[in-house]
Structure 1
Amino acid sequence: MTIFERIYRFAARSSGSVLASLIEAIKTAFSGDPELRRRVAFSVAIIALSAKMAKADGIVTQDEVRAFQEIFSVPPEEQRNVARLYDLARQDVAGFEAYAQQMAGLCGSGARNCQILEDILDALFHIAKADGVLHEDEQTFLQRVAEIFDVDQSHYARIEARHVLGANANPYTVLGVSENATLADIKKSYRLLVVENHPDRMIARGVPEEFVSIANTRLAALNAAYEQIEKDRRLL
């Protein structure tokens, strides 16, 4: 029996909240393998919260489906079970806030600006913006999830700026630096962010390897921001 088939069977047998069944399924099925449990929990978080975001927005576009597939590479034998989990989560009577509160436990310590929760937010932003528009309902959804994840406003602004469409992103916000900072200090911050957001770091903290595209997108945004600042400073 495959991983997601096992989880789906747990959830489908539930007469109550799908959320409660998913959490219990993960705890039960992978009690002897904490690392695998965290990887599966991360995957379920993306499935469940993206399903809830689609419900909040009211529609699921093909662009969003493709974006989901880009960051969630599902083996052919698991696709049916993942689709069924997605539908169960979307139809669940529990609100998205209950899902987010449970997923916040992935951090364990409850530390503010937890990196694995930032990874989840990045994935949700990637899906939300796929149709070329970040809708108001999606923005409200993402902001509330960030609050539950204990992501502070300045950190959330950095995450959001990485996903601003077109050429409207503020490069200083992306890098989390002051516009009055020296180029040397900006470069130091940029290099630290590049190291912190390397795909190997994501995998080490429990993010499945299928999600490295999130890290690649993040690094591209950091590189573009630094290059823009460097270019602007040369023109002064």
Structure 2
Amino acid sequence: MFLALFIGGLIGYSFGRFPGLLIGAIVGYILAKALAHKLRQGIFRVQSQFLESTFSVMGAVCKADGVVTQDEIQVAETLFNRLRLSGEQRETAKAAFRRGKEDDFDLDNELNLLLRVTRGQSALLQMFLQVQVSAVGADGEVHPAEHEMLVHIARKLGIPEAQVDQLEAMLRGARSGTAGGGPARGQQLADAYKVLGVSESASDAELKKAYRKLMSQNHPDKLAGRGLPESMREMAEEKTREISHAYDVIKDARSSN
């Protein structure tokens, strides 16, 4: 706002000295207010479409294996609470979820709408994909048909297919927590490498670089500035915790060798 006043005043002063300075400052203020209003409208539109698409696609993905389980319905209900949706928003989300379960639901069209409104911002789209993976993994497993749909969604959104494996690994890591040794520990370590998107042969420097890049890309403040609904901040924070956990698992494993 101050910058707009300064620039407007400076331009006005160059044409009309002090009267021009005053007029230029006023014009700059009006333009700044109009721009701020337009930006707020744009972010609101992104947030509204993001939530609408989140729950409609969730309904479609949950039905991919032929049946929507009670666990998957419970995840949707839990999300309503976690996102602190208002009564009206909750009803909109429920309607979207039901719409996604319909046989004639146009998945690709819904994804195209999401792509347009988010302008293809990868961090937002990855958060969208994360929510879908969490939903279908609610019953303890990701059915092959659900996995294939998740891969289709990723491709449609321009997200590498490996991101689906990464998010599924993140989901398993969140469940396993600090589970003990043996095969379970080996799976946890393998999943940790998938979460960070590096191979087990990566150097410590490469590992740290991948970790810092993911933490920067998924910072809740950055995502909010790009249109992520404030109600989804908790999920963004959860993802950064899971990334940190994966990094700690790998560091602990390497230090013990």
Smaller-chain TM-score range?
0.7 to 0.9
Does residue 1:115 correspond to 2:123, yes or no? yes
Normalised TM-score (structure 2): 0.70
Indicate how the Cα distance of structure 1 residues 34 and 67 shifts in structure 2: closer, same or farther if over 3 A, else same: same
User: Residue 77 of structure 1: CA displacement?
Assistant: 4.0
Does residue 1:96 correspond to 2:104, yes or no? no
Does residue 1:45 correspond to 2:56, yes or no? no
Aligned to 1:84: 95
**Partner amino acid, structure 1, of 2:123:** Q
Does residue 1:75 correspond to 2:86, yes or no? yes
Deviates more, 1:126-135 or 1:159-168: 159-168
Indicate how the Cα distance of structure 1 residues 98 and 81 shifts in structure 2: closer, same or farther if over 3 A, else same: closer
Aligned to 1:65: 73
1:110-189 equivalence runs, <5 A: 110=120, 114-164=122-172, 166=176, 167=184, 168-169=187-188, 170=190, 171-189=192-210
Whether the 8 Å CA contact 1:54–1:60 is kept in 2: the answer is yes
The one-character-per-residue Cα deviations of 1:72-97 (angstroms, maximum 9, x if unpaired) are 42213433343233323422623323
Q: Distance in 2 between matches of 1:62 and 1:156?
A: 23
Q: Distance in 2 between matches of 1:154 and 1:54?
A: 20
Q: Aligned with 1:33: secondary structure?
A: helix
More helix by share: 2
**Partner amino acid, structure 1, of 2:104:** V
Gaps of 5+ in 2: 1-37, 177-183
Alpha-carbon RMSD across the aligned residues, in angstroms, is: 2.5
Q: Distance in 1 between matches of 2:105 and 2:206?
A: 46
Aligned to 1:223: 244
User: Residue 43 of structure 1: CA displacement?
Assistant: 0.4
Ranked by relative contact order (alpha carbons within 8 Å, sequence separation 6 or more), the top structure is 1
Whether the 8 Å CA contact 1:116–1:207 is kept in 2: the answer is yes
Whether the 8 Å CA contact 1:31–1:37 is kept in 2: the answer is no
Normalised TM-score (structure 1): 0.76
**Partner amino acid, structure 2, of 1:176:** G
User: Residue 232 of structure 1: CA displacement?
Assistant: 1.0
How many residue pairs get aligned? The number is 204
Structure of larger gyration radius: 2
User: Residue 67 of structure 1: CA displacement?
Assistant: 2.1
Gaps of 5+ in 1: 1-29
Aligned to 1:190: 211
Indicate how the Cα distance of structure 1 residues 92 and 135 shifts in structure 2: closer, same or farther if over 3 A, else same: closer
User: Residue 229 of structure 1: CA displacement?
Assistant: 0.8
Q: 2:233 aligns with which of 191, 202, 212?
A: 212
Whether the 8 Å CA contact 1:53–1:138 is kept in 2: the answer is yes
Whether the 8 Å CA contact 1:158–1:173 is kept in 2: the answer is yes
Indicate how the Cα distance of structure 1 residues 232 and 88 shifts in structure 2: closer, same or farther if over 3 A, else same: closer
Whether the 8 Å CA contact 2:58–2:100 is kept in 1: the answer is no
Q: Distance in 2 between matches of 1:60 and 1:31?
A: 38
